[in-house]
Structures are given as C-alpha cells and as structure tokens.
Chains A and B, each alone.
Chain A
C-alpha cells in the first residue's frame, strides 16, 4: 500500500493585501500514500484551510505543485480539476454544507449523479443506512439535527468512493458526545474503504487518531509527527 496518492512540492501561497503581498504558506512539502490519514493542526490563521484548499484542488498555489491521484493539478483548468474532484475526492465540512433544496437522500446521491452512476439511489440509501439515518431519507437538512446533518455529509463524502477524503473541522460545530460519534464513524468508514483521510482540526484528540500529524504556524510547517 505504499502507493503515493497525494503529494505537494514546495507549495507557496501569496495573497495581495493592503500592506503588500502576504505569504500565507511557505515552501511546504508533503507526501501521502493510499490509506494514510493526516491531521493538519495549528492555530487560527496558521494556513490550515489554505493548505486543505490547495491539496483538494479548490484553489491554485502561487508556487510549487500538487499531484492528486497521479494528476498534476497545476496543469488543469477549473473544470478539469472539478472532474478530478468528482472522481477522486470527498469532502466533509465544519458547517456541513448540505443543499437545503435537496433531501438527505438527494444530497448523498449528488456526487454519484455528478459521476453519472446509474445506481445512485440504491448506493445513497445504503450509505445513509450505514450512518444510521435510514429513517431520515426524505428529510430536508432543516429538519435534521447538527449531528444528523454531519452524518449525511459523511455519507455524501463516501458515496463516490473517493481516494482522498478532506475533512475541515468535521466536529467543530457539534457537541463533544456527537463529535465523538461522528469521528468514530469517519475513521470506521476510512478503514472499511481504504480511503486516504486529510483532516483539519483544532481537536488534539481527534488529530492523534490519525497516522500522521503536521502542525502549521504562520504558514510554516513546524512539526511533523508520526504517532
């Protein structure tokens, strides 16, 4: 299983600001194999989310390169990157980011349909059953609790069988008990499906469940631990 799925070389991100250019990420290198799990920790503003965005191809770096599932993201345009995401990437967000206009089932079906899968409905139902929401298929996000919404989001993230799952503070909006159950679910599914997990979190306990941990400070990588 020592196959590289995600690598970053000399990653830089510079943004314009009122005081001139501001470097929010400095020369960051990183390599992840299939089935790995990586936690990115750091204080607010340390560049965690920026890094996540670059690794997932949601944003383009100012310097350096990112390779995801063998594709160099820097050479792709936004639509091509979208295709790479559809094929290889899943997301879990802190604020769940479900579409209000779609039911729980339809939200989970969405990535499958983007992928053109004919069995979208069946697979989505099965995943919702897996996360314990078989009674909530036709409910809309507004009708679900925070924990339930995040479980829908996790089901959606795993629906397309991604190679890499990016999770941005997945338990940040939940109470500790619910948060615990959500992270259990996340790691269970991660093991079951052999997905690579990249996790941004403040929660040290959650971070230490990962194989590896990197700590950012002011855009610099200051610590790289393999617990």
Chain B
C-alpha cells in the first residue's frame, strides 16, 4: 500500500466521513463549527450592514456621501468625472449677506441650493417660528426660508419680503433643520436658504467675493472611491474633499466604539467555538485510535493515516462552515427584519465578505484547535490492535498550545486590527491562564487529600476530576473561558451603554446661546436660570486665528486636510477661565498656578488638536485677535468630551490675558419640549443674542445610539447562545466515558439518585472553579480593554464574584442536562463493551 495516491486517499476520507456521520463526535464537531461560523458570520454581516446604515446616518451630516468644496467654482472636468461615474449630484453656494429691513440690519449666511439638495437627510421647516417642524422640499425660486432668530432679530413675519443683494424674495417658511448644518452650529449668523436659480439675479456673487461652492455627491462606495481617486490629484489649493468619516465627532466616537464592541463580540463567539472545536476534535481523535492502529497494521504509513483523518476533518470543516455561513446570513437577515422599523429601508447588503471571513474564521479555528489531537492520531502505534491500553505519545505541549494561540492571535488580529491590543490580550490571557491554571491545579491536588473522608457521591463525582487534575484544570479553563467571554460581553455592554447614557442624559443641553453682550451677561444668566435647571456657565468668546507656532507661520507646519489644518483656516473661539471646565481632563501640564514664571500668558490646548499641530508644553503660540497679535505659551493639554453638548474650546487662556479685548459670551442650556414660547420671549428680550436649537442633532444622535444599543443586545444574545451551545458540545465530548461509568455503577446496583448527586457534585465544582477563573480573567482583561480599546474608566466589579456561583449553577445544570444519556444508559452496555 506504499504511496497511496491522493485521489484514493480523498475518496477513502469521503467514504469514511459518510460512514462516520452517525458517530456522535462528528455531529458535535459539525455542530460546534456550525455555531461558530454562523455566529461570527451573523455578527460580521450585522456589524458590516449596521455600520453601513450608521454611516448613512452619518452622511446626513454632510448632506451627501462625499463633498467637494472650495472658494472657487469646481472646474467642469471635476463635475463631469462624477457624472461619468453615475454619481448623483447637487450644488450649493454659500455666502454672507446683510439683510436690511426697517427694523434694522442683520448679517446672514445665505445658502443657495438646487432642487437635488440635500442628497442625504432631509430639510425641515415650520410654518411659523418655533412651531413644530416637518420635513419637505426646499424653497422654490422666488422664495426664501430663514431661521427663527432672523425673524426675531428683524421682527419679520412669514409672507414678508426680504432682499438678498438685488433680488427680492418672499419669506415662505421658517427653516428649522439643514442636515449639513449640524456639524457647524457654532456659526454666528442666522441662515437664509434660497433657490440656486435666483443666485445670479442677486448680483452678490462677483469675482473676489467670499463665497463657498459645494458640490455634493451620492453613489455606491466603489463609484465614490473612483471619484475620489480621479479628483484628488487635481484639487486646487482652495478645494477639499470630505466624507462622513471626517465629519461629525459625536457620531464618530459612537460608531468607533460600537464597531470595536461588535468585533469583540465576534471574537468571543470565535473563542467559544475554538474551545468546542478543540473538545470535539480531541474526542474525534481518541475514538479513532483503534481504527488508526488498524489502518497502520494494514500498511498505511503514518503520513497517509494522518492525511486520511486530516482530509476528513477538512471536509467536515468545509461543509460545516458553508452551512454555518448560510445560517449566519439567514440569522442576520432575520435580525434586520425584526429591526426594520428602526433602520433605514435601504440598508446596504453587506456583500460576500462577512461570509468568506466567517468561513475562514471557522477553518482557522479548526486548524488551530484540531491539529494537535489530529497529530496524535498519526502517532498511534500499530501495537494498539493487540494491546488497547497502548496510547500514542502525547503531542508536545508547545505544539498544542502554540497552534491554538497562533490561530487565536490571527483571528484577533483580523478583528481588532490593532497589534498592541491583540498582543496585550493574548499575552494577558496567557499569563492569566498560566497563573490561574497553576493555582487551580494546586487547589485540586489539595482537595484530593480532603476527599478521602467525603461522602460517596462526592468521591464518585470528584474522583473523576481529581484523578486527572491536569485534564480537570484544562476543562475548567475551557468552561472558564466560556464564562469569561460571556461575562466580558455583558460587562462591556452595560458599561458602554452607561457611558453613552451619561454623555447624553435626558436633559443634555439642547440649545446654545451665542453673542451674549457683556452688558447683558448677568441679566441673561439670571433669566436662563429661571428657564432651565442647570445651564452651563457663560464663557467669554474672542474670535482669533492661530498664525504662528514658535515664530514659524502655522500654514507651513500643518498637513492638508488634517484636523490642525481645519482649525487654523478659520477663526477659533478663544476663551479664558479660572477653573478647568467641568468635563475636561488635563492630560499634560498643570492648570494655572502661581509657579508659572514665564513672561507669556498661559494657554491650555485641546489634546487632539495639539497632537495634530505637534504642539508640546512650553511652545509659543501667536494668535491674530482683532488685528492684534497676542502670544501665549502652552502650559497644559486637555482631553475634551466633544459629544457632551457643553460649550467646548480648543484654546483656553489664563484669566486676565484677553480681558482687554471685546468679547461676547456663550453658553448651552436644556429647555424641555413645549417651552418654545419662552424661547421666543428670550429672543425678544435679548435681540442681540443668537439662539441655536440642537434638538435635531441630539435626536439624530440618540436614534443612532438606540440602534447601536439594540444591535449590541442582539449580538449579546448570539454570544450567549453560542456559549451555551458550545458548553453542551463540550460536555458531549466526555459523554462516552460517563456512559460507561454510569452503566457500570448501575450494574453494580447504584440508584439513579446517587448518579445524579455525583454528577451534580462534579459539575458544580467544575463550574465554581471555572467561575472563579472567569471572574479573575474578566477583571484583568476588562482593565486592559477599557484602557486601550474603549477609553473608559476601569473600576473593580464586585458582582463578578458571583461568577463562581453562576458557574456552579449554569455548568452544574447544563452538565446534568447534557449528560442525561449517561444516567439513562442501560447497565447492559457494560456487557456489550466486553
């Protein structure tokens, strides 16, 4: 039989597999892989599609998928490139214009848009100021919509006519919401929206006037990418491309965390699957020791025997993975069906990638976890046909754990794409496993001494565990891993949700007040505290532009399209404060103190901007403020919660350094719904003040968080289901031995109750030990994850100490249930085995 051709080996393997389909462990292996691939495919699809859906929400903040903006009109070839690619197009022109009536004049920011605008999201308007808004088309030619504060400032009514340049326009509605205004609500001047067709007639847009042209594009990701490629090289100095990812920070943060969480959840599912695959593959191998020895006797070489079983495993792996991918696809489809009311109708399909990745994940897990037991099969000595107690030389421990770790590492790396985090998790996990496993081994061995005096059910149940402490330690590590994965996911879910809830409490500020004059400051603050329970403090604002760092012009220092570049091309709101604003945190340097010996006034810089501008403590910054140049030295860096809806600033100066300059004040406050009347009165009492409503933005953000939360809860269910399924699969792996033992004890006259008691004792101890391991491991890993992946504050979780109890109940219950067959085994089995 030397040199068995591969085709014959394949045929043999396939035939063997068909015969083996009735064997329990094949079904378990198939099931474990099915669950694993289904869970990771479903989560993969779900997060890919949900991500797509959330990104679509996020694109609303641009009003488009992709935006080409510039201070000059886009060149014809830039427009044609998009049209050739089949992208939808809309055009917007923005400029400032003074609107004059008998009541006064008001600088306004005018937007002229064509019929296609907006490409993402919807315009909303109301028939009268501060009335309920409704979505709809934009103004027709000859009409204009204005924000409520323009109506208040100039005492206008709907139906009045205003002039923009030379063109009279009738005010037909009150503009309440533009999707692409949301990210830019610090703009000071009220908005007027008009039709693009009227633009030429205004005569406002002349060569040299300050105008912003925006080309909005919408289309498939591929076409958008192609457009980006085509246009990027030819961008003029005044032009830039933006997409949703560059856009809104509030959305960005939530999306990023949700994505990491979903990835972590699928990692947990894969981990669970790995455990199940390892358990069932080792059962697959140990049940084939006899057959392998026989084949070796019949002349099969070691390599051929290995090949035969390897092919069988590969075959079952492929079939199970394909079925799993299909199942996962169906599962996520069902999930989206359940969520259809919450999600946009046109959720992107997700493509084939998640299925392929799911299958690959299953195969990598199979390879990593099943290879070592398979290798043992190759080493079964042919002598075993004569002496059944001859066992193969166990594979090297390094091989066993090395391949499993490698497989795990590969999968983790793919999911988080973050090498330090992957290594931290793997390394932390390894160290924890070694320490906890060692402790457990020691504990089990000490228990063995105690056990001599215990009652029979305990000795029967625990005898099995303690006779093979290494195997028992391995088993509790495996069950521990299941509990760990599940509790970690539960833990993260609740803390992520809490964090989001904290960020956006019910009474998060939903209005901003800008341009409060120093003379009005105290009266305004007093009025506000009557209307709103906890208004933010009033911060002084001086507009200023950063022009130089350590004497070098800032324009030469920043890279195009970076956050730093966006910050320096416009005026920043500069403020000063004696105390560190409530939700800011110092990340470097110190807040104002007397030790500050420099001649220059101190300034505290937001840390991400500082990073983008490569600022360090002690750097000298030069600002142009009201035509004057002011220098300041960086004395601290601050982390800012941009999604808190509190007034936030890039630059906070030391008190006393800007006080000589003309400043206005800024604050944010919460106004409960149906108090619009008070808002109108506030606007009338302080006509100079600009009031901005951010309800719409808040609502949008909340709806995204609701979706993410729902997704997380469903994903959690998946992980829990996978964990339980895998737990049963794992128990099945020890079923043979239990059936034999149960039957023998029955034959010897043991009653069912004794067997049940013994079983309970065994699994309860196993579960408690696993729970303890899980609690310790969970604390360790959560501390790592919070710090490096989620940017959350870590605190100990005392409730995790309940895990040993939960483990004892869960694994005890599942153990007794999963090994029911062993209790019901006919005592006749022992005769049949002989």
How far apart are the CA atoms of A65 and B498 in the complex, in Å?
Answer: 69
A83 within 8 A of B: yes
Choose among B464, B467, B747 the residue that contacts A58 (Cβ–Cβ < 8 A): B747
Q: Chain A residues near B827: list those with CB within 8 A.
A: 58-59, 82
Select the stretch in A105-113, A126-134, A186-194 that faces chain B: A105-113
A1 to chain B, nearest CB (A): 25
- Chain A residues whose CB sits within 8 angstroms of the CB of B741 once the complex forms: 99
In chain A, what residue has the closest Cβ to B754? Answer: A114
Q: Which residues on the A side are within 8 Å of B466 (C-beta)?
A: 101
Asked if A58 and B751 sit within 8 Å, CB to CB, the answer is no
Q: Which residues of B contact A204 (CB under 8 A)?
A: none
- Chain A residues whose C-beta falls within 8 Å of the C-beta of B745 in the assembled complex: 110, 114
The smallest C-beta distance from A127 to any residue of chain B, in angstroms, reads 15
Task: Report the interface size for chain A: residues with CB under 8 A from the other chain.
Answer: 37
Contact check, A95 vs B834: say whether CB atoms are below 8 A apart: yes
A140: chain B residues at CB < 8 Å are 467
- What residues of chain B lie closer than 8 Å to A168, measured between beta carbons? 831, 834
Contact string against B for A residues 45-87, beta-carbon threshold 8 Å, 1 for contact and 0 otherwise: 0000100110010110000000000000000001100111111
Distance in Å: Cβ of B834 to nearest Cβ of chain A: 4
Is A142 at the interface (CB under 8 A from chain B)?
A: yes
B744 and A79 contact, CB distance less than 8 A: no
- Is A101 in contact with B744, judged by CB distance below 8 angstroms? no
Q: Is the pair A93, B830 in contact by a Cβ cutoff of 8 Å?
A: yes
| A97-B748 Cα distance, complex, nearest whole Å | 11
- Inter-chain contact A89/B828, CB cutoff 8 Å: no
With a CB–CB cut-off of 8 A, which chain A residues contact B751? 79, 82-83
- A residues sitting closer than 8 Å to B (CB atoms) are 49, 52-53, 56, 58-59, 78-79, 82-87, 89, 91, 93-95, 97, 99-102, 106, 110-111, 113-115, 140, 142, 156, 160, 168-169, 172
Q: In chain A, what residue has the closest Cβ to B744?
A: A97
Q: Identify which of B466, B740, B750 gathers the most chain A CB atoms within 10 Å of its CB.
A: B750
Known: A83-B751, A97-B744, A110-B748. A169 touches B828 (CB 8 A): no
7 pairs, CB–CB < 8 Å, chain A vs chain B:
A59-B828, A78-B746, A83-B751, A85-B749, A91-B747, A91-B830, A93-B831
Report the bound CA distance from A210 to B834 in whole Å: 22
Given A58-B826, A93-B834, A142-B389, CB of A101 within 8 Å of CB of B749: no
Write out the residue numbers on chain B whose beta carbons fall within 8 Å of the beta carbon of A115.
Answer: 749
Tell me the chain B residues, 736-761 only, with Cβ under 8 Å from chain A: 740-741, 744-754
A111 and B748 form a contact (CB under 8 A): yes
Set A97, A102, A106, A142: member contacting B830, Cβ < 8 A: A97
A59 and B467 contact, Cβ closer than 8 Å, known pairs A86-B749, A95-B834: no
Chain A neighbourhood of B456, CB < 8 A: 113-114
Asked whether A106 lies within 8 Å of B463 as measured between CB atoms, the reply is yes
Minimal beta-carbon separation of A107 from chain B (angstroms) = 10
Chain B residues whose CB sits within 8 angstroms of the CB of A110 once the complex forms:
745, 748
Q: How far is the CA of A99 from the CA of B740 in the complex (A)?
A: 9
Query: How close is A22's CB to chain B, nearest CB, in angstroms?
Result: 16
Q: Which residues of A contact B833 (CB under 8 A)?
A: 95, 97
Name the interface size band of chain B.
20 to 34
Q: Tell me, yes or no, whether B832 is within 8 Å of chain A by CB.
A: yes
Q: Considering residues B389, B463, B748, B834, which has the most beta carbons from chain A within 10 angstroms of its beta carbon?
A: B748
Q: What are the 9 closest A-B residue pairs judged by CB atoms, nearest first?
A: A86-B749, A94-B834, A85-B749, A101-B467, A101-B463, A58-B827, A101-B464, A58-B828, A59-B828
Q: Which residues of chain A have C-beta atoms less than 8 A from B464's C-beta?
A: 101
Given A101-B464, A101-B467, A142-B389, CB of A58 within 8 Å of CB of B748: no
Q: Which residues of A contact B249 (CB under 8 A)?
A: none
In the complex, the answer to whether B831 meets A52 with C-beta atoms within 8 Å is yes
Complex: A156 Cα to B468 Cα, angstroms: 23
Q: How far is the CB of A185 from chain B (nearest CB, A)?
A: 19
Cα-based distance from A40 to B696 in the complex (angstroms): 90
Complex Cα distance, B752 from A79, in Å, reads 6
- Residue B181, interface by CB 8 Å: no
Query: With contacts A82-B752, A85-B748, A102-B463 known, what are 8 further pairs, Cβ within 8 A?
Result: A58-B746, A59-B826, A82-B750, A82-B827, A101-B463, A113-B456, A114-B748, A168-B834
- Separation of A58 and B459 alpha carbons in the complex (Å): 25
Nearest CB on B from A164, distance (A): 12
Q: Is the CB of B749 within 8 A of A58?
A: no
Q: Contact: B828 with A53, CB < 8 Å? A: yes
Q: Could you tell me if A172 and B744 are in contact, using CB atoms closer than 8 angstroms?
A: no
Nearest CB in chain B to that of A54: its residue: B828
Q: Which residues of B contact A53 (CB under 8 A)?
A: 828, 831
Chain B, Cβ-Cβ closest to A56: B747
Q: Output the nearest chain A residue to B461 by Cβ-Cβ distance.
A: A101
Report whether B749 and A87 are in contact in the complex, using a CB–CB cutoff of 8 Å.
Answer: yes
With a cutoff of 8 Å between Cβ atoms, the chain B residues found around residue A56 in the complex are 747
With a cutoff of 8 Å between Cβ atoms, the chain B residues found around residue A95 in the complex are 833-834
Q: Which residues of A contact B748 (CB under 8 A)?
A: 85-86, 91, 110-111, 114, 156
Contact of A86 (CB < 8 Å), options: B740, B750, B830:
B750
CA distance A169 to B748 in the complex (A): 17
Q: Mark B440-467, 1 if CB is under 8 A from A, else 0.
A: 0000000000000000100100011011
- Find chain A residues with CB under 8 A from B832 CB: 49
**B740–chain A nearest beta-carbon distance, Å:** 8
Q: Kindly state the separation between the CA atoms of A97 and B464 in the bound complex, as whole angstroms.
A: 15
Query: In the docked arrangement, what's the CA distance between A144 and B102, Å?
Result: 111
Structural contact, A111 and B749, CB atoms closer than 8 A = yes
Q: Roughly how many angstroms separate A200 CA and B457 CA in the complex, as a whole number?
A: 32
**A114 surroundings in chain B (CB, below 8 A):** 456, 745, 748-750, 754
- Contact flags B592-614 to A (C-beta < 8 A → 1, else 0): 00000000000000000000000
Query: Across the interface, which residues of A come within 8 angstroms of B831, CB to CB?
Result: 49, 52-53, 58, 93, 168
Residue of B456, B464, B747 ringed by the most chain A CB atoms within 10 A: B747
Please measure, in the bound complex, the distance between the C-alpha atom of A156 and the C-alpha atom of B830, giving whole angstroms. 15
When C-beta atoms are compared, the residue in chain B nearest to A156 turns out to be B748
CB-nearest residue of chain A relative to B459?
A106
B828: which A residues are within 8 A, CB to CB? 53, 58-59
Inter-chain CA distance A102–B466, complex, in Å, is 10
CB of A151, distance to nearest CB on chain B (Å):
17
Within the complex, which residue of B744, B749, B752 is in contact with A99, where a contact is CB–CB below 8 Å? B744
Q: Which residue of B lies closest to A53 (CB)?
A: B828
Separation of A93 and B827 alpha carbons in the complex (Å): 12
CB distance from B759 to the nearest CB of A (A): 13
Task: Report B-chain residues with C-beta under 8 Å of the C-beta of A99.
Answer: 463, 741, 744
Give A65 to B304 CA distance when docked, in angstroms.
Answer: 53
Task: Report the Cα distance A167→B739, complex, angstroms.
Answer: 21
Are B834 and A172 interface neighbours, CB within 8 A?
yes
Nearest A-chain residue to B748, judged by Cβ: A111
B469 to chain A, nearest CB (A): 11
- Chain B residues with Cβ under 8 A from A106's Cβ? 459, 463
Check if B834 sits within 8 Å of A100, measured CB to CB.
no
170-208 of chain B: CB within 8 A of chain A: none
Question: Is the CB–CB distance between B746 and A82 below 8 Å?
Answer: yes
A168 to B746: give the CA distance in the assembly, Å.
Answer: 16
Query: With A and B bound together, what is the CA distance between A89 and B464 in angstroms?
Result: 25
B810 CB, nearest partner CB in chain A, Å: 24
Bound Cα distance A173, B504 (Å): 75
Bound complex: CA A91 to CA B834 (Å): 12
Q: Once the chains bind, are A100 and B467 in contact (CB under 8 Å)?
A: yes
Q: 0/1 per residue, B47-73, Cβ < 8 Å to A?
A: 000000000000000000000000000
Contact A85 B834 (CB under 8 A): no
Q: What distance in Å separates the Cβ of A152 from its nearest Cβ neighbour in chain B?
A: 13
Interface string of B803-834 (1 = CB under 8 A from A): 00000000000000000000000111011111
Query: Which chain B positions have C-beta within 8 A of A111?
Result: 748-749
A114–B751 alpha-carbon span in the complex (Å): 9
- Within 8 Å CB of B463, what residues of A? 99, 101-102, 106
* Interface 1/0 per residue, B81-118 and A, CB below 8 Å: 00000000000000000000000000000000000000
